[in-house]
Chains A and B, each alone.
Chain A
Amino acid sequence: MSNGNTGNRFTPKDFWAWFFEVFDSYGVIILGVFLLIYPFIFSGLLESIIWLEDNDYEGMAEALQTFRGFVPSTPLMIQILIFSLFGMAFNILLGNTGMLSLGHSAYFGVGGYTLGLMHAWFKKGTPVYPWITDTFKLFPLEFSIISAIIVSAVFSWLIGMIASTKRGVYFAMVTLALSMVFYYAAQTFDDLTGGTDGLGGLANMRMGTLNLRVGIMDATITYYFVFVIVVAATAIIWQILRSPYGQVLRAVRENENRARNCGYDTAKIRLMAFTLSGSLAGLAGALSIIYGESVPIENIHFITSGQIVIITLFGGAGVFLGPAVGSFIYWYLRQLMSTEFVKYLAIFQYWEAWVGGIFILIVLFVPQGILGTINNWTLNYRTKRYIERLEHESESASATESEES
């Protein structure tokens, strides 16, 4: 690629040209490959530290140990993947339909509790029909994940019936209030849900079809299990957003009144978007239980709803992979501050304040989010290149013309 600079020096302009080119053409592939091999990178790092220690390279081992603190661990990556999915599900509403739900923790939590309760109930000694426990024992994860999607779809449909008739701040407040109903329900029925302690001790996180044991014992397997489901769900969301229905969502976001006048039943469209988003959030919620093998009650609390708003806006509302980027930034920063930075500066123990500060800066200065802004840059760069090419072509055309005459 020529940028018109003489000599072989690698200028910043060259760097940006290279960056945009790669980002544009291979960004998603690079991200996918990186995520695919991540557990090996991380376990390779751990193993090399052990190897160095065993072979008496103390200094290098120590240096690598310090470096390890700045590398997200596989369990953290599991969390990041799950919140990417949650964020993309949330973005169906916020970025594409223009509905700000402040109560998405409800469906995230319901998904988690469904999976948790099924594991807690359907085991030996529970007074249910034996055929239920027997069938469940064959495919525990399959059944509970599908149930989590169905149950959260039902709940989000019911809540959507009430909430999606409201707009703007009223919609936000109704979803928020109704999600807190879920929280207090989880707190009140504590013999069922474990109350504020959460629902713990969920054993046998097993996938029957592949005879795969996931859970806290094996982060790598859990990572791949979550990875495959998140990729599949991402593909589904991508298809939804590129479909004619996805286009109608954008029309509703842009101008609901006009969409209605074009013959669209916008109430139904909004309700369906809400249900789709809620059921995918439920899937994310179910996945979030697997590694920890317990359901923390915070999952269903407003804090989780706030988190997902922050994550989505970090990456960019309406940008397809925005929430994935946002999720990485959010969890990585949180981890860095609360475990690494705090070693040097005690003030970093208040990581919420720092993340909040960064959130304010992003909203003020890059309102399209980080990925949204990079996307815009890439688009600008591409347009500039295109115009340059056109000018170049017209120049050379006029040059040949003058030669001919």
Chain B
Amino acid sequence: MPILETQKLSKHFGGLIAVDQVDYSVEKGELRSIIGPNGAGKTTFFNMIAGDLPATEGEVIFNGENVTGLATFERSHKGIGRTYQITNIFPKLSVLENVRIAAQSRKTTFNLWTGVSSHRELIDKADDIIERIQLADKRNDLGGTLAHGEQRYLEIGIALATDPQLLLLDEPTAGMSPEESQQTAAFIQSLADPLTIILVEHDMEIVLGISDKITVLHNGKFLAEGSVEEIRENEEVQRVYLRE
């Protein structure tokens, strides 16, 4: 059974059809990529999976369950985590708090009678993740004071702290130097399996290096889907990318 399936998923903004009847299916543990030129509908597609935008038509099925009508926070609890194209963290909370607050969402929300510091297991879990995203030495710095690349990592850390089964990464290497991008690619690869990852990227290098399967989105429609070699040799894809 695929972990994520979309059936005829569409999004219309007035007369503009941003995503057009997309059928998509991802198996558990895969690292998939979606590429496409600007305005192809990649982020809109993500927004509909994570629940940031309601779908105009079609269905999103996660783990065999129709989640189309669920709110974003409910989908998060089902196991869909995401990051954003534009860094989206809690700028005036410390790195630890950023991650801890995400981990806390799995445990307790309306807990008014205990102190934050008494929930040791959440702090331990957050520290664990901070170690993984290599920000241990900046644990107590405010999120907003980190360098751009570090903030991108922090955002992945926030998403990881919610124990997702499916992680949607929207251009994780945006604004990074080539070396940083390579490191990030390796980091993303290390996260995959058992985690299922869908990656939206502009940077072809990254995508070709780490993806199990690539999907090309163009004008809201799927143009091609296949392994790295298949996509590389696909004439239609070359045409779309060369014309750019």
Contacts and interface: CB of A to CB of B under 8 A. Distances in A.
Q: Report if A and B associate in a common complex.
A: yes
A261 interface: yes
Interface in B83-141: 88-93, 97, 100-102, 104-116, 119
Contacts of B161: 262
A130 B197 CA distance: 70
B19 interface: no
Nearest to B72: A260
B75 to A, nearest CB: 9
B162 interface: yes
A255 B73 contact: no
B76 interface: yes
B112 A240 contact: yes
Contacts of B105: 262-264
B73 A263 contact: yes
Contacts of B218: none
Interface stretch (A36-44, A164-172, A177-185, A242-250): A242-250
A265 B104 contact: no
Contacts of B91: 254-255
B158 A245 contact: no
A102 B124 CA distance: 40
A265 B116 contact: no
A202 B85 CA distance: 61
Given A239-B112, A260-B73, A265-B73, A244 B93 contact: no
Contacts of A264: 73, 105, 109
Contacts of B92: 250, 254
A245 B112 contact: yes
Contacts of A262: 73, 76, 101-102, 105, 158, 161-162
A147 to B, nearest CB: 22
A15 B72 CA distance: 54
A250 B91 CA distance: 11
Interface string B64-90: 000000011100110001100000111
Contacts of B111: 243-245
Contacts of B71: 260, 265
A246 B113 CA distance: 10
A385 B12 CA distance: 59
A247 B88 contact: no
Nearest to A240: B112
A122 to B, nearest CB: 32
Contact of A265 (B89, B93, B109, B113): B109
Interface in B203-236: none
A269 interface: yes
Interface in A227-261: 239-240, 242-248, 250-251, 254-255, 257-261
Contact of A243 (B52, B82, B112, B158): B112
B125 to A, nearest CB: 14
Contacts, number: 95
A244 B116 CA distance: 5
Contacts of A265: 71, 73, 109
B116 A263 contact: no
A381 to B, nearest CB: 18
A245 B109 CA distance: 6
B158 A258 contact: yes
A258 B88 CA distance: 6
Interface residue tally of chain A, by bracket? 20 to 34
A244 B119 contact: yes
Contacts of A243: 111-116
A260 B110 CA distance: 15
A258 B115 contact: no
Given A244-B104, A248-B104, A261 B90 contact: no
Contacts of B77: 263
Contacts of B55: none
A260 B158 CA distance: 12
Given A258-B88, A263-B162, A242 B115 contact: yes
B50 interface: yes
A254 B158 CA distance: 14
Contacts of A240: 112
B89 A255 contact: yes
Contacts of A255: 88-91
A95 to B, nearest CB: 12
A251 B108 CA distance: 14
A105 interface: no
A272 interface: yes
A325 B107 CA distance: 36
A294 interface: no
A266 interface: yes
Interface in A125-168: none
A247 B50 contact: no
Contacts of B89: 255, 258
Contacts of B90: 250-251, 254-255, 258-259
Interface string A16-33: 000000000000000000
Nearest to B77: A263
B144 to A, nearest CB: 9
Contacts of B106: 263
Nearest to A243: B112
A263 B92 CA distance: 20
A251 B113 contact: no
Interface string A371-400: 000000000000000000000000000000
Given A243-B115, A250-B90, 10 more contacts: A244-B119, A246-B112, A247-B116, A248-B104, A260-B72, A261-B50, A261-B81, A262-B101, A264-B73, A266-B73
Kindly list the 6 A-B residue pairs having the minimum CB-CB distance in the complex, ordered from nearest: A263-B76, A263-B105, A254-B90, A262-B102, A244-B111, A251-B101
9 contacts: A245-B112, A247-B97, A254-B90, A254-B92, A260-B72, A262-B162, A264-B105, A266-B73, A269-B110
Interface of A: 239-240, 242-248, 250-251, 254-255, 257-266, 269, 272
